[in-house]
Amino acid sequence: MEQTFEKLERSSVPELDTILGTPFQVLNDGFVRVIDYMGSDSSIVQAARVSYGKGTKKLREDEGLIRYLVRHHHTSPLEMCEI
């Protein structure tokens, strides 16, 4: 029996892609390194709009929605992303 694999599509954040694997010094005792990430700004707005049944709108509106969520401490949609 032969296994077949499908390519998975994932959201990409170019700013994070450029720092993957790069160590960042923390105080005098160590470092942190981004080894992977999951999700993007669009993941946050999609999660926020799920309860309203509306899809992603314009980028400007997405930015406004994220600002609204943070300003009003609605943080559960922000949990859709992991670093």
Report the half-sphere exposure of 23 (CA within 13 A, side-chain side): 6
- How many whole angstroms separate alpha carbon 67 and alpha carbon 41? 11
Q: Which pLDDT score, from 0 to 100, does residue 41 have?
A: 85
pLDDT tens-place string over residues 11-21: 788 899 999 99
Q: Which pLDDT score, from 0 to 100, does residue 60 have?
A: 74
pLDDT tens-place string over residues 27-68: 988 999 999 888 888 888 888 888 666 655 666 788 888 898
pLDDT class of 22 with cuts at 50, 70, 90? very high
Residue 6 has pLDDT above 90, yes or no: no
pTM: 0.64
The C-alpha angle with vertex 33 and arms to 78 and 5, in degrees rounded to 5, equals 70
Per-residue exposure over 44-78, b if at least 16 CB sit within 10 Å of its own CB, e if not: bbbbbbeeeeeeeeeeeebeebbeebeeeeeeebe
